[in-house]
Amino acid sequence: MAKSDDCVHILQGLLVFGNVVIGICGIALTAECIYFVSNPDGLHPLLKATENSDIYAAAWIGIFVGLALFALSILGIIGVIKASRTLLLVYIILMLITFAFEMASCITAATNRDSLTPELFLKQMLERYQKSDPANNSDNEVTKTWDELMLQNHCCGVLGPSDWQDYTSAFRNTHSDADYPWPRTCCVLDAQGLPVSLDGCKLGVPGYYNSNGCYDAISGPVNTHAWGVAWFGFAILCWTFCVLLGTMFYWSGIDY
């Protein structure tokens, strides 16, 4: 009997430990998703304008799933220590529901990340940047976001300044090709915000204009965001899977 008690103790200990880890990870997931939702890189308007901002939906789900995991882990610890069948059954069912939600969030984040290709941003930029009569506010937001992006990252266009030459655009409709081969924000600017050499910028002389595309500056944070939600959630779910199996095994052994 002592041996079986030891087995019980070990199983209980493992389950309590598992639930503690789940609780901590739940808090971490909530914190991570709040960070992403707070738009630290200023890319939210671009993603919203693609009408495909499921990455933010996935992050919002992650916030609530994290809190649910924390609460359920406390319930689980209490249920395991008290060896209560009812509590553990409630725990298992609620955990399965949370598992399903988190699974949806991970898959959404991963799928949405795959859809954010350079072509998508290129098309959006060409159609909306500096649109002369914006139908709605999101075009202004797109323009402001692109200007900030190009200024801070010293980049131009999605793939390069030639984006403005290879395609017609809303920008081209209002700015002549001879005066503005590419927007002024693509020029190297001095402290006052004026181009160091306007002629050098218009010619495209290296050193007076930004020759890189901005896609790396966009995809970097978006990738971090999406894979942060998706892979961390995946790791939590794998751990939760093990804990839930252990809990079910424990539950089926409890005797009233």
Measured CA distances, 40 to 30, 36, 225, 236, 238 (Å): 16, 7, 10, 24, 29
Q: Which residues contact 182 (CB under 8 A, 6 or more apart)?
A: 156, 157, 161, 164, 165, 209
Asked if residue 190 binds another protein (CB under 8 A), the reply is no
CA–CA separation, 176 vs 63, rounded Å? 47
Asked if residue 119 binds another protein (CB under 8 A), the reply is yes
- Phi and psi, residue 173, nearest 5°: -65, -30
Instruction: Show the tokens assigned to 201.
Output: 């910028």
Residue 73 CB-density burial (10 A; 0-12 exposed, 13-18 middle, 19+ buried): buried
Asked if residue 63 binds another protein (CB under 8 A), the reply is no
CA–CA separation, 101 vs 10, rounded Å? 30
Span interacting with another protein, options 4-12, 31-39, 54-62, 188-196, rule CB under 8 A: 4-12
Asked if residue 178 binds another protein (CB under 8 A), the reply is yes
Asked if residue 126 binds another protein (CB under 8 A), the reply is yes
Provide Rg for the chain, Cα atoms. 26
Given a contact cutoff of 8 angstroms between Cβ atoms, the answer to whether 64 and 226 are in contact is no
Give the shortest CB-104-to-another protein separation in angstroms.
Answer: 9
Which residues, numbered 136-165, are part of the site for another protein (CB under 8 A)? 161-162, 165
Tell me the number of residues near another protein by CB under 8 A. Answer: 64
Give the shortest CB-107-to-another protein separation in angstroms.
Answer: 5
- What mask, x for binding another protein by CB under 8 A, covers residues 75 to 114? --------x--------xx--x--xx--x--xx--xx-xx
Give the shortest CB-175-to-another protein separation in angstroms.
Answer: 10
**Backbone conformation region of residue 154, classed left if phi is above 0, alpha if psi is from -120 to 50, else beta:** left
Interface ranges with another protein (CB under 8 A): 4-5, 7-8, 11, 83, 92-93, 96, 99-100, 103, 106-107, 110-111, 113-115, 117, 119-120, 122-123, 126-127, 161-162, 165-169, 172, 176-179, 181, 199-200, 202-206, 209, 211, 227, 230-231, 234, 237-238, 241, 244-245, 248-249, 251-255
